[in-house]
Structure 1
Amino acid sequence: MKLEEVARHVSTPLASPAYAPVVPRFTSREYLNIVYRTDADALRAVVPEPLELDEPLVRFEVMRMGDVTGYGPYVEAGQAIPVRFDGERGEYLHAMYLDNFPATASGREVSAYPKTIGAPDLYLDHGALVGTLDYGSLRVATATMGYKHHPLDLAEAKAQVTVPTFMVKLIPDYDGAPRVAELVRTEITDVVVREAWTGPARLQLFEHVLAPLADLPVREVVSASHLLTDLTLAPVRPVHDYLGGSR
């Protein structure tokens, strides 16, 4: 393999990269979102500066990807935390668990999504939309929502999906010292909201040392939404360098 050919590859192994060199388009991406109130001290312990907190809220999400360019269908679950940065309101992506390795690898390498392998699911059960997350053989989250009880305004649904998101990008150097330590920002673009619903919801989180969602305990369910969308993820850009100041 020639020198110039090596640099054209997006990932290793060179003969069979971990993910395809594409900008993924998400078609029929279905969300179950549950926003809940948690402990303020617990949030302060996990949200990195310079992000700022207002209310002690968390959004638990389960997303069923109907079809994704380069990856195919898969399911993802995780937690996002409402924050502010330089006066802009957004969400800090705290943890993401999914059942697709190419999507996990590209999310971490190309961007900064805090992705790891898990076993989420999203399905309908006797009039309830059910979202679950297992880590290994153990259940760590169960969410239920009344299926299509009340229509949700499509503009409000789009605003939920397109809120700016912040993540931390960490890459160690070969000696173990930090090589990249950045706060980055991205957003969802080219959004089509096909359906949007709201209704009653419940959320249970179960303690697990390697999937510590329950460290942000559920004190009160604030709202819930069930969305069906098409969308694209914008590239990330750094907004703060932890090794050298603001970008």
Structure 2
Amino acid sequence: MDIATVRNQLTTPLGAPAFPRPPFRFHNREYLNITYRTDPDALRRLVPEPLTIPEPLVRFEVMKMPDTTGLGSYHESGQAVAVEYEGEHGEYIHAMYVDNHPAIASGREISAFPKKLGEPKLFVDSDTLVGTLDYGTLRVATATMGYKHESMTTEAALAEIGVPTFMLKLVPGYDRTLRIAELVRAQITDVTVHGAWSGPARLQLFEHALAPLADFPVLEVVAASHFVADLTLGRPAVVFDYLA
């Protein structure tokens, strides 16, 4: 393979890449979101400057993505913290757990999603929407919500799905110091909402050394939502360079 062709590649291994080129379009992506109040000191220890924390709120999410161009069918779960950057309200994506290698590899390499391998699930149990997250063989989160109790407006769903997200991109060099250390901003685009609901919800988080979701303890559940939508992941942009 000549040098010009190598330069045109996006990832390895050559001839059988870990993921295809974006953009990635999601069809019938299903969300369970539970927003809760937590310990503000715990957030301050882990949310990076220059982001600020206007209110100690965390959104725990479980997503089922049955039809994603290039990536297939998979589940994802994680935590996003309500933040501000230069007056703009958004969310800092703290951690994500995914059961699909192309989604993990592409999320980390071409974006800044903090993805690790995990086993999330989203399903209906009788009259209850259930989201779970296992790390290895151990349960680290269980979320429950009354199934489609109240309809939400499309406008409310779009506002929640389309909130700007901030992520930390850290890439070490071969000398084991950081080659890239950036805060990036991204936003979901081209959203079509097929359904949106709210209802009563509860969330349990369990202690784990390598999936420490419980470091942001649940003090009060303040909102819950259930969406089904089509959407496209937006291209991330650097907003702060820690090495500059």
Give TM-score scaled by structure 1 length. 0.98
SS of 1:36's equivalent? strand
Where in structure 2 are the equivalents of 1:44-55 lying within 5 Å? 44-55=44-55
The size of the alignment, in residue pairs, is 244
Q: Give the match for residue 177 of structure 2.
A: 177
SS of 2:72's equivalent? coil
Question: For the residues of structure 2 that align with 1:10 and 1:179, how far apart are their CA atoms?
Answer: 18
Question: For the residues of structure 2 that align with 1:69 and 1:114, how far apart are their CA atoms?
Answer: 21
Q: State the Cα distance separating 1:15 from its structure 2 match.
A: 2.1
Give TM-score scaled by structure 2 length. 0.99
Tell which deviates more after alignment, 203-212 or 12-21: 12-21
Where in structure 2 are the equivalents of 1:1-247 lying within 5 Å? 1-244=1-244
Q: State the Cα distance separating 1:163 from its structure 2 match.
A: 0.5
Question: For the residues of structure 2 that align with 1:116 and 1:15, how far apart are their CA atoms?
Answer: 25
SS of 1:183's equivalent? strand
Listed as ranges, the gaps of 5+ residues in structure 2 are: none
SS of 1:53's equivalent? coil
Q: Percent identity?
A: 62
Q: State the Cα distance separating 1:53 from its structure 2 match.
A: 0.4
Q: For 1:87-108, what per-residue CA distance to the aligned partner results, in whole angstroms no more than 9, with x for missing partners?
A: 0000000000010000100000
Q: For 1:173-202, what per-residue CA distance to the aligned partner results, in whole angstroms no more than 9, with x for missing partners?
A: 110011100000000000011100000000
Q: State the Cα distance separating 1:9 from its structure 2 match.
A: 1.3
Find runs of 4+ consecutive structure 1 residues off by over 4 angstroms: none
What amino acid is aligned across from residue 81 of structure 2 in structure 1?
I
Q: CA RMSD in A?
A: 0.6
Question: For the residues of structure 1 that align with 2:21 and 2:164, how far apart are their CA atoms?
Answer: 24
What amino acid is aligned across from residue 55 of structure 1 in structure 2?
E
Question: For the residues of structure 2 that align with 1:47 and 1:21, how far apart are their CA atoms?
Answer: 30
Listed as ranges, the gaps of 5+ residues in structure 1 are: none
What amino acid is aligned across from residue 37 of structure 1 in structure 2?
R
What amino acid is aligned across from residue 133 of structure 1 in structure 2?
L
